[in-house]
Structure 1
Amino acid sequence: MNLMKIYLYILLFVSSFGFAQTGSISGKITGGRDAIPSVNVILSPLGTTTVADADGNYSFKNIPNGSYEIIFSAIGVKTTRKKVTVNSATPVTLNIALQEDSQALDEVVITGTMKEVSRSESSIPVEIITPKLFKKNPTPSLFEAVGMINGVQPQLNCNVCNTGDIHINGMEGPYTMILIDGMPIVSSLSTVYGLSGIPNSIVERIEVVKGPASSLYGSEAMGGIINVITKTPYKAPVVSADYFLTSWGEQSLDAAVKLKAGKATSLLGVNYFNYNVKADKNNDNFTDVTQQNRISIFNKWSFDRKDNRIFSLAGRYVYEDRWGGELNWTKQWRGSDSIYGESIYTRRAELIGLYQLPTTERIFTQFSYNWHDQNSYYGDTPYMATQQVGFIQTYWDKQFGDNHTFLLGAAMRYTVYDDNTPATANPDLSNEPQVTPLPGLFIQDEWAINSKHKVLGGYRFDYDKNHGGVHSPRVAYKFSPNMHNTFRASFGTGFRVVNLFTEDHAALTGARDVIIAEALNPERTYNGNLNYVLKVPTQYFVLGMDVTGFYSYFTNKIVGDFDTDPTKIIYDNLNGHAISQGVSVNTDLQFNFPLKLMAGISYMDVFQKEERAGGGVDKIQQLHAPKWSGNFIGTYTFNKNYSVDVTGNWYGPMRLPILPNDYRPEYSPWFCVANIQFTKKFDYGLEIYGGMKNVFDFVPKYALMRPFDPFNKTADDPVANPNGYTFDTTYNYASLQGRRMFLGVRYNFF
């Protein structure tokens, strides 16, 4: 019995000694003043993991005495590591403030629902590009910057004037709606030039929604939306500047300053781009890149109001002089048929406003106006056009209970368009500008069934004088079984009230009557998306993956018949349909050492089926829509604030516009345009950067057809031109700019 007691005493002593050798770690995780919930906390080398609660608190208990490393990681913040020593005598308290990640995947977004929500909470998948991201490959305009988003393709459509549009999932530019602060500022005539000259210094982020969003934004949003969100003035740096130049002679200056005037804060930005070097690397006697001289001035004001109500007002003015053509062209030959040149003068003014009504309910009014004037000659063909667009909408943002977020609004868009072509002329050749009023109503409800399930329903009704009433419903569903997995499914319809008067009319000769078929219907699309987002935090890295499958069915495509009657342009709906379908995958890998990788790949099949008059169906692959494409971004940060960025885009074969009996291939080759940049950050907001664009020096093998006869003066000679070729500028799939160095400096003072 005594032996048993001794054994028990020894056991209790050993046990108490063991418990005495353990301790605890606890703390609170914040981001500035606010707590950050759901942060993954890993205790290394034990591998023990916990997740911070809703108030940012975390804890580990019964930790053996010793030295450890704690790893804090979450999507949207920088992964942070801290050393701690556990001692049984004193509990360890480690509070930490995490920094926002410059490549965060969980920013606030508004484009999908017209409301500010966390990206992870949005029922609609939204892709984001931030200034810190597109500065990894500095560009003189946002037109080029958006190419860093997988599935978004800036497409040059002319090898001489270098005009272009933006394709989303292979669909042409007119199917992409471009917004500035949610306003349809850039559309129709101005789409080609609208993203050029927006100062990068005033951009907070760019949001992209793929697929139709006409239930909220109306006409043109049937292929997707690009929304440029400008900075709130009081959040902007006091002074910011970015200047770079390239070995090809391009110069870009981007600067902004914040001003305070009483209860108002202003952000004044300017962008200047100049390129005046007549490069001709392919020896066809034509400029490889258009000469450009562009200045853009932007000013945005935010006003302090009672109860933090919102009132902002912004304006922008753009002037651009661009030309491309034969190397010996000067302005004295503008419009002549002696020396070929395409010269375009563009003037543009914009006004944007947002006002929250002084009521207890959240009621907002948005308004915008833009004036766009284009004075251009394409060889000896003049094209003079002016477009004015006024837009106003009011919406009520209401929360019903804890689960329903409601939106109800009305909008009015008024477009006036005029040009010098027969398309805007009466049969007696008198001028008749096109006037298009487009009123609409929209409603949306987002129902949070519980923490895992959310449903969104929306509907919009628009009335067009030519098409009548247009209905656009959509529905979306989001399922988040846990913080690491999110599933989204959406279905919607889109429409486009077509502006029949475009630059295509500049090619017309003689008087033509514009005939619109009586039963002309608006272009429609039916779209479905399935989206899966995976977030995997580990001890060594955080992996993010975003997979989207999409399918869009387009009907009633409006085409112009120029052949049936040479005195008429007959507009009618396509006798068939078009399809855009595919899969897009984006990955984001952030290691616990300073390496970050992002990559995307898209497969898409975009085509049109048209029924023949005599029976049968023709399948036509969409121009400039490669089945395979992708992008990549890699960043490594060294000690002493040195970093290197590798970026690039690659494309598979795409169908190109060719002439009959063309010797140029109908499909482009596989190609990749890669870039590298080195950056050194100094104190006080100064950065110096430099690198190389188009590292592999890829340029298209073929460009212009018959550049020696741009006015087709000898095109009808059967001996000299047996195939009947004509001067052609549209065969394009990549920039003609080859490898070039660049050097720049940035400065931000807060």
Structure 2
Amino acid sequence: MAASSDLAVPRGPISSARPRSLSWLAAAVAALLAAADAAAEPVAELPSLVVTATLTERDLRDAPGSVTVITREDLDATPARDVFDAVREAPGVTVSGVGLSGRRVVNIRGLDSKHVLLLNDGRRVTATDEYIGHSDYGYAWVPLTDVERIEIVRGPLSALYGTDAMGGVINVITRPVGEDWRGAVRVLGGLTDHGRGGDEYQLGASVSGPLLDERLGLKFSALSARVDDTALKSDPSLTEVEGKDVLAATGSLTFVPVPGHRIEIGALGGEEERWRETDHRGGPPIHTSSYDLYRSQYFASYRGEVGPASLALNAYRSRFDAKNRTDDPAVPPTTRQNLLEDIIDGHVTLPILERHLVTVGGEYREETLEHPALAGGEDTADNRALFVQDEWSLLDDLILTLGMRYDDQRFFGSETSPRAYLVYHLGPQWTLRGGYGQGFKAPTLKQLSPEYSFAGAHSFRGNPDLRPEHSDNYELGASYDGGRIAATLTLFRNDIDDLLANLCVENCDSRVGRVFEHINIDRARTQGVESSLALTLPRGVELALDYTYLDARDETNQRRLAGRPRATGAIRVTWDQAPWGLKPQVRAEYTGSQVLYGAGTTRYDLPDYTLVHFNVRKDLARGIEFGLGVENLTDENPLEKSDDFGYSERGRFFYASLQAQFD
């Protein structure tokens, strides 16, 4: 059975070792090849069950929402290094640059990363871009060897998850403990061809299995990765794409006291370093600015069945610390920031009157932000919520999902978030779906505080007059699955009141040193069309295409919303039965035109660009696969097309990988 989003992922201590070169790859490759005799047959494809859209297991065709599932097979077929890489080509998902040094975030349907809730086995991943400022720190803490699948729900799920889920949810679901021991190891290393840095290595491993028959199980995974910084082509003394060094590990124990009841306890630990060569707010001195990032999470969960009722309970504490340092005493580091979250959530699901599946649940969440700019050095906000959901099978082929969540927040009082969604199967191949939902997003402690000011490459000021965002969201879609041909088409519209945004108020034409203030845009709208097509052709050829058209408007100022590409698309061609046992794949990503704004009415138009990637895989032995590839085959760099991009993609990159899976 497919893993549930309620399953907990193992967490554990991390090693203090930090390799700094690719020389270790030879030893790792030799160790993997030695494991060939113990390698198992590839894992069979799992049923298309999803859980994120309802908290209950549903067939993908029955899910009340626009859901994309990135399977274990998909992850094995592409050289994705982390969750960010894995989701960036999904329909409706766009990647946006958010400042200097190549940092990027994931957006869904024109709503930025602050509106996209990231979950790890159903538990919230600390939304660091809200607190550290435009960051992508949440995607590289679990090795992909430990991931069973990734579920992406596009559209609001505030009716289940509250704030942060106004744009959608990404749920990373790890591999459960099975009846037998199994594991996976993956190594990857590569070099850029332009001599300006950007070299990379990664080692990820996971193992799980029973310790005491079916009563006690263990999971453990670890990740070590490094990407060197890339020098700016026009000025090699500065950094174009920042470097990063990641160490992370997870571990958990699962205990089954009696059949039908399971308790799991675990922990996550990780540290990451980011660094770049930069100038001081647009002038000398040139110096190295580094961030040390620390993440931990401790959790306990219970899953059980009492008669026809299913019960789930989670309790976990998450902490994220960020510390900046510089190598020049003339440049002061930015202020250290710490975020602590304590969360308890749970729900009960019970079938009622044959055709109703009712879920009732609640959540308590307390956030504490430590920052010297806040009064007393810290501030705390808590949130209490109750929700109810009814999955009503009106007919055998007609399912209506109704939901409502009530949130009570310290600063803004109560919020209600309703949802209604209808799924109708016209036959075994055709499905119609559509619905309405409301979403909301509350400003963070930092955004509200008039004392708060962050001074880094750019500066941000708090604004006590901010209001919560509210959205009304509509979608209507159709899908066809004929086995060898599958296609979807979805129309969507989001009407947003008081959209939170950043307004540049000083030094807006400077490369660094811009000053932003948090504001509300009274009225905004994002609407568009999502489409996908998958074809299974003769001789093992598979073709997949995704295309999204987006019209994102600031209705108050009658102009396009900044940083939202007009169109995005992806194409993937895979040939699994090529000669000599090879499995080549070609992928392309298209990012359409977008706009940015400076002071006053200044507008910057950014051109479109396309990235092309190629990789080929080959089975060396049972369960062991070798891969070669090149990313950004045409060496495309948006920053060279326009200085106004403010971010870049890594240039042409050659890599090799080796993966082993065994029982």
TM range (shorter): 0.7 to 0.9
Compute the displacement of 1:270 (Å): 0.8
Distance in 2 separating the partners of 1:133 and 1:590 = 15
Equivalent residues of 1:449, 1:455 under 8 A apart? yes
Compute the displacement of 1:274 (Å): 1.4
Partner SS, residue 674 of structure 1: strand
Equivalent residues of 1:668, 1:733 under 8 A apart? no
TM-score (norm 1): 0.73
Structure 1 residues 595 and 455 mapped into 2: Cα distance closer, same or farther (>3 Å)? same
Distance in 2 separating the partners of 1:323 and 1:464 = 37
Which residues of 2 match residues 1-80 of structure 1 at below 5 A? none
Q: Which of the residues 626, 635, 638 maps onto 1:697?
A: 635
Which residues of 2 match residues 216-231 of structure 1 at below 5 A? 216-231=160-175
Instruction: State the AA in 2 paired with 1:505.
Output: S
Equivalent residues of 1:159, 1:703 under 8 A apart? no
Equivalent residues of 1:206, 1:227 under 8 A apart? yes
Q: Deviations over 1:582-620 (max 9, x none)?
A: 00001111124311111100001112122xxxxxxx223
Q: Which of the residues 586, 611, 615 maps onto 1:646?
A: 586
Name the residue aligned to 1:321: 273
Q: Deviations over 1:553-586 (max 9, x none)?
A: 110234678979xxxx999973620101000001
Distance in 2 separating the partners of 1:673 and 1:740 = 12
Compute the displacement of 1:359 (Å): 3.8
Distance in 2 separating the partners of 1:351 and 1:316 = 6
Structure 1 residues 124 and 695 mapped into 2: Cα distance closer, same or farther (>3 Å)? same
Structure 1 residues 481 and 700 mapped into 2: Cα distance closer, same or farther (>3 Å)? closer
Equivalent residues of 2:527, 2:550 under 8 A apart? yes
Structure 1 residues 575 and 316 mapped into 2: Cα distance closer, same or farther (>3 Å)? closer
Structure 1 residues 235 and 592 mapped into 2: Cα distance closer, same or farther (>3 Å)? farther
Distance in 2 separating the partners of 1:174 and 1:325 = 27
Q: Deviations over 1:301-343 (max 9, x none)?
A: 33334223233333211101110114xx9xxx99x96323331
Which residues of 2 match residues 118-197 of structure 1 at below 5 A? 118-160=59-101, 162-187=102-127, 188-189=130-131, 192-197=136-141
Partner SS, residue 443 of structure 2: coil
Compute the displacement of 1:393 (Å): 1.1
Q: Which of the residues 411, 433, 452 maps onto 1:466?
A: 411
Name the residue aligned to 1:656: 596
Equivalent residues of 1:381, 1:506 under 8 A apart? no
The gaps in structure 2 that reach 5 residues or longer are 2-41, 193-198, 507-514
Name the residue aligned to 1:739: 652
Which residues of 2 match residues 535-574 of structure 1 at below 5 A? 535-537=481-483, 542-558=484-500, 574=520
Structure 1 residues 278 and 528 mapped into 2: Cα distance closer, same or farther (>3 Å)? closer
Partner SS, residue 682 of structure 1: strand
Which residues of 2 match residues 718-733 of structure 1 at below 5 A? 731-732=645-646
Q: Which of the residues 390, 407, 410 maps onto 1:445?
A: 390
Compute the displacement of 1:658 (Å): 4.8
Partner SS, residue 544 of structure 1: strand
Instruction: State the AA in 1 paired with 2:201.
Output: Q
Instruction: State the AA in 2 paired with 1:485.
Output: W
Structure 1 residues 210 and 514 mapped into 2: Cα distance closer, same or farther (>3 Å)? closer
Name the residue aligned to 1:390: 342
Distance in 1 separating the partners of 2:61 and 2:190 = 39
Name the residue aligned to 2:183: 239
Q: Deviations over 1:172-220 (max 9, x none)?
A: 1111111111111232337630112321111111111111110100111
The gaps in structure 1 that reach 5 residues or longer are 1-30, 32-98, 426-430, 611-617, 706-729
Structure 1 residues 554 and 660 mapped into 2: Cα distance closer, same or farther (>3 Å)? closer
Compute the displacement of 1:523 (Å): 1.0
- Which region of structure 1 is more displaced relative to structure 2, 221-230 or 300-309? 300-309
Name the residue aligned to 1:719: none
Structure 1 residues 635 and 381 mapped into 2: Cα distance closer, same or farther (>3 Å)? same
Instruction: State the AA in 1 paired with 2:530.
Output: S
Q: Which of the residues 38, 50, 57 maps onto 1:109?
A: 50
Name the residue aligned to 2:26: none
Tell which has more relative contact order, 1 or 2 (C-alpha 8 A, sep 6+).
2
Equivalent residues of 2:181, 2:210 under 8 A apart? no
Which structure is higher in strand share? 2
Q: Deviations over 1:512-556 (max 9, x none)?
A: 996634xx642101000111111234xxxx110011110001102
Distance in 2 separating the partners of 1:583 and 1:183 = 30
Does 2:621 align with 1:683? Answer: yes
Q: Deviations over 1:377-432 (max 9, x none)?
A: 58645131000111111211101132111100111111001223x3x13xxxxx34
Q: Deviations over 1:26-74 (max 9, x none)?
A: xxxxx9xxxxxxxxxxxxxxxxxxxxxxxxxxxxxxxxxxxxxxxxxxx
Instruction: State the AA in 2 paired with 1:260.
Output: P
Structure 1 residues 621 and 570 mapped into 2: Cα distance closer, same or farther (>3 Å)? closer
- Which region of structure 1 is more displaced relative to structure 2, 578-587 or 677-686? 677-686
Distance in 2 separating the partners of 1:559 and 1:254 = 37
Does 2:574 align with 1:635? Answer: yes
TM-score (norm 2): 0.83
Partner SS, residue 338 of structure 1: strand
Which residues of 2 match residues 528-539 of structure 1 at below 5 A? 528-537=474-483
Instruction: State the AA in 2 paired with 1:550.
Output: F
Q: Which of the residues 530, 533, 536 maps onto 1:587?
A: 533
Compute the displacement of 1:652 (Å): 1.2
Q: Deviations over 1:84-138 (max 9, x none)?
A: xxxxxxxxxxxxxxx9886x8x611001101111111223231111233134331
Equivalent residues of 1:134, 1:148 under 8 A apart? no
Compute the displacement of 1:226 (Å): 0.7
Larger Rg: 1
Name the residue aligned to 1:38: none
- The CA RMSD over aligned residues, in Å, is 3.2
Compute the displacement of 1:371 (Å): 0.4
Query: Identity percentage over the alignment?
Result: 20
Name the residue aligned to 2:217: 265
Distance in 2 separating the partners of 1:235 and 1:337 = 61
Partner SS, residue 219 of structure 1: coil
Equivalent residues of 2:572, 2:588 under 8 A apart? yes
Compute the displacement of 1:278 (Å): 5.0
Q: Deviations over 1:450-503 (max 9, x none)?
A: 211111100000001211110100000011121110000110000112214169
Partner SS, residue 140 of structure 2: coil
Q: Which of the residues 358, 366, 369 maps onto 1:406?
A: 358
Equivalent residues of 2:609, 2:638 under 8 A apart? no
- Which region of structure 1 is more displaced relative to structure 2, 308-317 or 439-448? 308-317
Distance in 2 separating the partners of 1:746 and 1:300 = 24
- Which region of structure 1 is more displaced relative to structure 2, 578-587 or 165-174? 165-174
Distance in 2 separating the partners of 1:354 and 1:606 = 40
Structure 1 residues 100 and 596 mapped into 2: Cα distance closer, same or farther (>3 Å)? farther
- Which region of structure 1 is more displaced relative to structure 2, 137-146 or 204-213? 137-146
- Which region of structure 1 is more displaced relative to structure 2, 580-589 or 264-273? 264-273
Distance in 2 separating the partners of 1:690 and 1:168 = 31
Structure 1 residues 496 and 266 mapped into 2: Cα distance closer, same or farther (>3 Å)? same
Q: Which of the residues 607, 626, 632 maps onto 1:669?
A: 607
Compute the displacement of 1:626 (Å): 1.0
Partner SS, residue 697 of structure 1: coil
Structure 1 residues 389 and 155 mapped into 2: Cα distance closer, same or farther (>3 Å)? same
Distance in 2 separating the partners of 1:383 and 1:163 = 20
